[in-house]
Copies of this chain bind each other. A is one copy, B any other.
Amino acid sequence: MQTGSATDQPQSTAATADDETWRIRRTAADVDRLGETESIFALGNGWIGWRGVLDEGAPCGMPGSYVSGFHERRELSYPEEGYAFPQASDTVISAPNAALIRLWVDDEPLDLRTGTLRSHERVLDLRTGVLRRETEWISPAGRGVRIRSTRLVSLPRRPVAAVRYEVEPLDTAVELRVCSNLLANEKVPERSDDPRAASVPTNPLTAETYGATGLDGVLVHRTERSSQRVAVAVSHLLDAPGTVTTSGDCTPDRVRLTVTGRLHPGERLRLTKFAAYEWAAVDATPADELADLVAAEADAARADGFDALLTDQRAALDAAWQVADVQLDGDQDLQQAVRFGMFHLIQAGRPDSERTISAKGLTGNGYDGHVLWDTESYVLPVLTYLAPAVARSALTWRHAHLPEARERARELRLTGATFPWRTIGGRESSGYWPAGTAALHVNADIADAVLRYLAATDDQRFLAEAGLELLVETARLWHGFGHWSDEGDFHLHGVTGPDEYAALVNDNVFTNLMAKRNLRGAADAAEGHPELAGRLGVDRAEVTGWRAAADAMFIPYDHERGVHQQAAGFTQQPEWDFANTGDDDYPLLLHFPYLELYRKQVVKQADLVLAMQLCPGEFTADEKARNLAYYQARTVRDSSLSAAPQAVLAAEVGHLDLAYDLFAESVLQDLADLGDKTADGLHLASLAGAWLALVQGFGGLRDDRGVLSFDPRLPRRIDRLAFSLRWRGHRLRVTLTPAEAHYELPDAAADAEVELWHHGESLRITGTEPVSRPMPPVPDPGPEPPSPPGRRPTRRSAD
């Protein structure tokens, strides 16, 4: 078993054959896959997000330069209105784009679609955190140039992004014109009718301040309805032969620096651009103040220089990878895919922003840039272990929007708080209430993320400042929403669970179990902190009511079939006619009405299976096996949120090949563009889900009761699986081989200690005492449960 510093410090394995697992490479062969490549090559730091558009901005699938939380609001109108239907929706819009650098060669614009592309390669380097590009292009008139660029969005410096752009003649002297742009209101292409796409306003930004001086410039714009102000400054360094000249110009929507000159072979023009992004509420920060701020930030970055940014970037990533890297020996493609996913998770959030992470992060405008439950149920459970401060930021953001959630609850005539199903700014932005407002489980999902974060960190300050109130207000929602039956059961009727091929159901098991966990978690926290709870108006009677509701929570079960019902009556619904469903009929939501989908036993995505993942103690092993088999046969995975939970349960039940294939589907969601939607942005929940599939699935991590336990079991394709997680301030490293599980605290002081369970055995790991234990054989679970016809994940488990 390989342990020790070599595995802890991935950067030291440089120049070995597996280096490609740290890089994502696209060449001339991929230039047509514009939108997909732009999402995959998106750079971000949890504040700024730059899509991986070519330097010259064309051809382009969809431009995007986002700042976390910056958005516009658009009116919603309904063919038939209803009470409390949201009248406006947040929608992500681009801040001015500072990444653009255009090039003319003898007055012909560089455009990969014209002339001759002698070579072209772009590489996303997951360890250094930069996007490199090298292109050799012969213009239609026969003039050749080599372009090299390096782009980064600085992880340690929140407002800063930068590009270093180099161009040199290949064979003959050429007249070059390089235009570095800062461009507002870039045109965004119209999108399809697919409900999962975005609706994009035209020219959403109104100029307030603009100016250029020498090699610097700044734009300040505001939005009309959301009343936000965004400022972007650029500052340039030019390194070029003395013959080149520069000129700057500026319009309300554009700052442009033009560098012109004749270069001979052997000469090189290098332009480095430093950009800084900030936004604030219009009434919080005046335009001039915001302009000064970003100008100073861009200046400071230029003063430090691009190399310093590179060095700091590497250092920040080294620190992040020390926890986040997962080593998966035996499948190089998936090793690369896992690192790709973890890189984007590292990029997605910040510890210092009190901002959250939207479904697409800052990689695209899919789902209008909205935050959904994905964050709390898929992304934060991972970040809680890898970057707990980032998880705390996201939960603090939720807490900051409690006022809107309370107001929404009042509007809906509910109790406590009702968090939005979709939002950027904190207000409900869902335009289809049966799959929005009715999906109340988002409130329990938030509470669950709070409880997981508290269990992993014991962060008492967060509990006092935000966590307890989140738990209390969500518990109040459930207590008021539910009702008691004559039999003394507590029911939650008329809600929508995770499966979006069902809606407005009674007693959705996922919702009920998560609400139960929410009620108990709130009761425990309130009893543990009576004074804090008292300030929130919680008294003993209220806590007693929460516990009573939790204890009596109804969980529908079909005794005849021996399975849980996803919701009451689910197993009595008609079966889906898979025999008459063609391959072209998927995703079903684009080919069948909700009328058909809702009333039948067809499942879009893990729902009961997700309940078994998140509340594993609520099910026996036999129930898990039977439930998994029943729902595997009815789940079509038309959502990218489905494969990972199915992988976790398949692994737990012992169907390790199926688990592996589901894990592969989850981790390849974007790199292989499995859903043909990667162009809209990355599926962060699916990428996070891949970590969960590995760590909860094959690592067998369970943490729902506040203790760490592992029931590891490796699939055939994995020779070694190593991962880390933070627990109560320590980094626990787990290394699994077919023979053995190894637990250690590589960074900890000698007296550090973590208790955990390994296959039912209690272990004590200290800074000086790693522990190894054998991997028990996996009992034969019998034949693999069938998936719907044509819907089994691609088989790579047996490759």
Residues of A within 8 A of B (CB): 76-84, 86, 89, 193-195, 411-414, 430-438, 483, 485-486, 491, 493-494, 503-504, 506, 560, 568-569, 572-574, 589-596, 598-599
B79 lies within 8 A of A593 (CB) = no
B599 lies within 8 A of A493 (CB) = yes
Q: How far is the CB of A78 from chain B (nearest CB, A)?
A: 7
A438 lies within 8 A of B595 (CB) = yes
* Chain A, interface SS category: loop
A485 to B437, CA, bound (A): 32
Partner of A82, one of B89, B494, B574, B589: B589
B593 lies within 8 A of A437 (CB) = yes
Specify which chain B residues have a CB less than 8 angstroms from the CB of A195 in the assembled complex.
80-82
A413 lies within 8 A of B574 (CB) = no
A592 to B491, CA, bound (A): 20
A81 to B78, CA, bound (A): 11
B430 lies within 8 A of A80 (CB) = yes
A494 lies within 8 A of B598 (CB) = yes
A79 to B81, CA, bound (A): 11
Specify which chain B residues have a CB less than 8 angstroms from the CB of A590 in the assembled complex.
83
Specify which chain B residues have a CB less than 8 angstroms from the CB of A89 in the assembled complex.
79
What residue in chain B is nearest A572 (Cβ atoms)?
B485
Partner of A433, one of B76, B83, B485, B594: B594
Specify which chain B residues have a CB less than 8 angstroms from the CB of A78 in the assembled complex.
78-79, 431-432
Specify which chain B residues have a CB less than 8 angstroms from the CB of A595 in the assembled complex.
412, 433, 437-438, 494
Q: Knowing A78-B78, A82-B589 touch, does A413 contact B596 (C-beta < 8 A)?
A: yes
Specify which chain B residues have a CB less than 8 angstroms from the CB of A84 in the assembled complex.
593
Specify which chain B residues have a CB less than 8 angstroms from the CB of A486 in the assembled complex.
560
Specify which chain B residues have a CB less than 8 angstroms from the CB of A573 in the assembled complex.
493
A494 lies within 8 A of B599 (CB) = yes
Q: How far is the CB of A22 from chain B (nearest CB, A)?
A: 39
What are 20 A-B pairs at a CB distance below 8 A? A76-B79, A78-B79, A78-B431, A78-B432, A79-B430, A80-B430, A80-B435, A81-B194, A82-B589, A82-B593, A83-B591, A83-B592, A83-B593, A413-B592, A437-B593, A494-B599, A503-B504, A504-B598, A504-B599, A569-B569
Closest 5 CB pairs of A and B: A79-B431, A494-B599, A483-B574, A80-B432, A493-B599
A610 to B630, CA, bound (A): 40
A593 to B494, CA, bound (A): 12
Select the residue from A77, A83, A414 with max chain B CB neighbours within 10 A: A83
Select the residue from A560, A572, A591 with max chain B CB neighbours within 10 A: A572
A431 to B82, CA, bound (A): 11
Select the residue from A86, A436, A493, A504 with max chain B CB neighbours within 10 A: A504
A592 to B436, CA, bound (A): 16
A589 lies within 8 A of B83 (CB) = yes
A413 lies within 8 A of B494 (CB) = no
A194 to B491, CA, bound (A): 32
Specify which chain B residues have a CB less than 8 angstroms from the CB of A589 in the assembled complex.
82-83
What residue in chain B is nearest A432 (Cβ atoms)?
B80
Q: Knowing A592-B413, A595-B438, A598-B494 touch, does A77 contact B80 (C-beta < 8 A)?
A: no
Q: How far is the CB of A318 from chain B (nearest CB, A)?
A: 43
Q: How far is the CB of A440 from chain B (nearest CB, A)?
A: 8
Specify which chain B residues have a CB less than 8 angstroms from the CB of A431 in the assembled complex.
78-80
Q: A79-B89, A433-B594 are in contact. List 14 more A-B contacts (CB 8 A).
A: A78-B78, A80-B436, A81-B194, A82-B589, A83-B591, A83-B593, A84-B593, A413-B596, A434-B434, A437-B595, A438-B595, A483-B574, A491-B574, A506-B569
Q: How far is the CB of A623 from chain B (nearest CB, A)?
A: 21
Q: How far is the CB of A406 from chain B (nearest CB, A)?
A: 16
A135 to B591, CA, bound (A): 62
What residue in chain B is nearest A494 (Cβ atoms)?
B599
What residue in chain B is nearest A80 (Cβ atoms)?
B432
What residue in chain B is nearest A599 (Cβ atoms)?
B494
Q: How far is the CB of A753 from chain B (nearest CB, A)?
A: 48
B412 lies within 8 A of A82 (CB) = no
A545 to B486, CA, bound (A): 39
Q: How far is the CB of A482 from chain B (nearest CB, A)?
A: 8
A195 to B81, CA, bound (A): 5
A594 lies within 8 A of B493 (CB) = no
Q: How far is the CB of A584 from chain B (nearest CB, A)?
A: 13
Select the residue from A79, A194, A431, A506 with max chain B CB neighbours within 10 A: A79
Q: How far is the CB of A488 from chain B (nearest CB, A)?
A: 13
Select the residue from A76, A591, A594 with max chain B CB neighbours within 10 A: A594
A491 to B589, CA, bound (A): 24
What residue in chain B is nearest A196 (Cβ atoms)?
B80
A598 to B412, CA, bound (A): 13
A412 lies within 8 A of B596 (CB) = yes
Q: How far is the CB of A359 from chain B (nearest CB, A)?
A: 15
A746 to B617, CA, bound (A): 79
Specify which chain B residues have a CB less than 8 angstroms from the CB of A79 in the assembled complex.
76-78, 86, 89, 430-432
